Chains A and B, each alone.
Chain A
Amino acid sequence: MSLLYDIFIGPFAQMADSPDFLAQVLWEGFVSGILYALIALGFVLIFKASGVFNFAQGIMVVFAALTLVGLYQKGVPALLALVLTIAVMGLLALAVERFIMRPLVNQPHVILLMATIGLTYFLVGLGELVFGGEPKQMITTELGLPSGSTEIPFGQQGVVILQHIDIAAAVIALVMVAGLAFFFNRTRIGRALRAVADDHQAALSVGISLHQIWAIVWFASGIVALATGIMWGARSDVSFALEIIALRALPVLILGGFTSVPGAIVGGLIVGIGEKLGEIYWGPLLGGGIESWLAYMIALIFLLFRPQGLFGERIIERV
């Protein structure tokens, strides 16, 4: 009886008790959800256009952030470093297209997956070689990102604390997602991206060059990786350990669907908020620490009942 109370009533009573704390938890969940969504977005872009699960997405986040900070530490002004980092991500995209995608076109997907694992180790090595392996401080203020926090009164005497950097992260992420969704649906290149994703042969027959499209998606996901790197870097620091957060994006992808930009956002929010709520209110029942596996659990349930995710393209098959 008391167990049922702890599961179904206790947590909600707690929430009603201190609404300001609940709001704080929801905000934190929202922010980490947005960041998950950003990582998932990087995966979605590449998966959509080439059917490749890019294992290297995590390290691309680290590599982008590392390049930015590393250049700054070598004396390059912050904004110039940002521009140079974007250029580096562009070069990386061209190189990936030329040396990985092009020679491996028409190979089974698992081979491309292996290639991206190879890319991961290559980038780890390159990053350490050029910028060193020790953790670095993200240059948030130098880039003009806000710091500090605002306290908003909430309820009777409660307050909710909003970190300015979190607000900035949310705004940047939303702008990026809106832009990408629009780009995909309304423009010539967006249409070509979807065309390539759908049918290589047919895409070629209308004159779409696969090489060009792949370079563009890898570049776009490099930019997303850079944004993610700056935001995550600002919350902890820039180190190779960040690579692991990429795996956090897996449940997000399963929830949202591997091919959907809005799906990445909604999936990210569900995972981010769900994790925080679960950890705070239901965690103590299981001795805590459920934040690290709850998302995978939800993903597993999704796989059983809706494998294409919430927003994934319906698998249309004629028999």
Chain B
Amino acid sequence: MTRSTGDVILNVENVSLRFGGVKAVTDISFDIRKGEIRAIIGPNGAGKTSMLNVINGVYHPQKGTITFKGRVRKAMQPYQAAKSGIARTFQNVALFKGMSTLDNIMSGRYLRMRSNFLWQLFYLGPARDEEIAHRRKVEEIIDFLEIQHVRKVPVGKLPYGLQKRVELGRALAMEPELLLLDEPMAGMNLEEKEDMSRYILDVNHEFGTTIALIEHDMGVVMDLSDRVVVLDYGRKIADGTPSEVKANHAVLAAYLGVAHQEKSR
């Protein structure tokens, strides 16, 4: 399944990130092209989420550069990353638990709503028109993700699978250019995983959103992604199409372990 993918939208070059003496990520380089689904895989503790956090501005790497849309980024805050067009979901769902599904997804429109603080204060004229226009967009997303039935329910009360979907909806509401998904299918059953895979593919095909995806389920990764980068102990050990990566010895060793020499003793 090769799709035509465009220019490089994000380029990660020689990025290293340490927490004190712990090396989370060491000298990693890879790129993400416009319109592709790029998977980042690796065993637990390989540095996948750290990598995502670097792209998203949560962590500031000690070394290396990140170029997004042709602009080299200095240390930036997550809300600035959001402004530049990067949306994300979290490994352990981070939703506004007390707010309804609708309000959660509406919050994704925050940056797209522009009306003045004073108008807001009185909910007059432009502020109201704007609210209505954005509401329409949000309803589209809700329809797309098939969560109409829980529109008004506080998300804290929803089952985990639906929370994951609401979180995806909030990220989509931002109409991002790059969507970072941190284990969107963790803790889901087979049916939920299939649904989620479908949504991810649809987002990619229909909206043309570039997606970077962390996932543990190898089947899912192989089916969804155009290219895969494999991390182990904070280093990149492979990069290529799913079939290339599957055949890579280093990857097999990282996932399945190598035969130990001691056994022959």
A186-B131, A187-B120 known; A202 and B94 CB under 8 Å?
yes
Q: Which of A179, A192, A195, A197 has the most CB of B within 10 A?
A: A195
Q: Is the CB of B96 within 8 A of A198?
A: yes
Selected interface stretch from A65-73, A203-211, A275-283, A288-296: A203-211
Chain B 144-164, CB within 8 Å of chain A: the 1/0 string?
000000000010110000000
Determine the residue in chain B with the shortest Cβ distance to A190. B120
Q: How distant is the Cα of A51 from the Cα of B164 in the complex, in angstroms?
A: 26
Q: How distant is the Cα of A86 from the Cα of B134 in the complex, in angstroms?
A: 32
Q: How distant is the Cα of A128 from the Cα of B116 in the complex, in angstroms?
A: 37
Q: Is the CB of B157 within 8 A of A316?
A: yes
Determine the residue in chain A with the shortest Cβ distance to B127. A187
Q: Which of A179, A186, A199, A216 has the most CB of B within 10 A?
A: A199
Chain A 179-202, CB within 8 Å of chain B: the 1/0 string?
100110011111110110111011
Chain A residues contacting B99 (CB-CB under 8 Å) are 191, 194-195, 198
Chain A 157-191, CB within 8 Å of chain B: the 1/0 string?
00000000000000000000001001100111111
Q: How distant is the Cα of A216 from the Cα of B121 in the complex, in angstroms?
A: 12
Q: Is the CB of B96 within 8 A of A194?
A: yes
B53 to chain A, nearest CB (A): 10
Chain A interface residue count, CB cutoff 8 Å, equals: 28
Selected interface stretch from B8-16, B29-37, B83-91, B197-205: B83-91
Say yes or no: is B50 at the interface (Cβ < 8 Å to chain A): no
Q: Is the CB of B82 within 8 A of A202?
A: no
Say yes or no: is A313 at the interface (Cβ < 8 Å to chain B): yes
Q: Is the CB of A186 within 8 A of B123?
A: yes
Q: Which of A183, A187, A207, A216 has the most CB of B within 10 A?
A: A207
Q: Is the CB of B94 within 8 A of A206?
A: no
Chain A residues contacting B78 (CB-CB under 8 Å) are 201, 204-205
Q: How distant is the Cα of A201 from the Cα of B170 in the complex, in angstroms?
A: 14
Mind listing 26 A-B residue pairs with CB under 8 Å?
A187-B120, A187-B123, A188-B131, A190-B120, A191-B103, A194-B96, A195-B99, A195-B107, A199-B95, A199-B97, A201-B78, A202-B170, A205-B56, A205-B87, A205-B171, A206-B87, A206-B107, A206-B171, A206-B173, A206-B174, A207-B82, A207-B111, A208-B79, A209-B79, A216-B117, A316-B154
Sample of 10 further A-B pairs with CB below 8 A, known A195-B107, A201-B94, A316-B97: A188-B115, A189-B117, A191-B103, A204-B58, A206-B108, A206-B173, A206-B174, A316-B154, A316-B156, A316-B157
Q: Interface residues, chain B, CB within 8 Å of chain A?
A: 56, 58, 77-79, 82-83, 87-88, 90, 94-99, 103, 106-111, 113, 115, 117, 120-121, 123, 127, 130-131, 154, 156-157, 170-171, 173-174
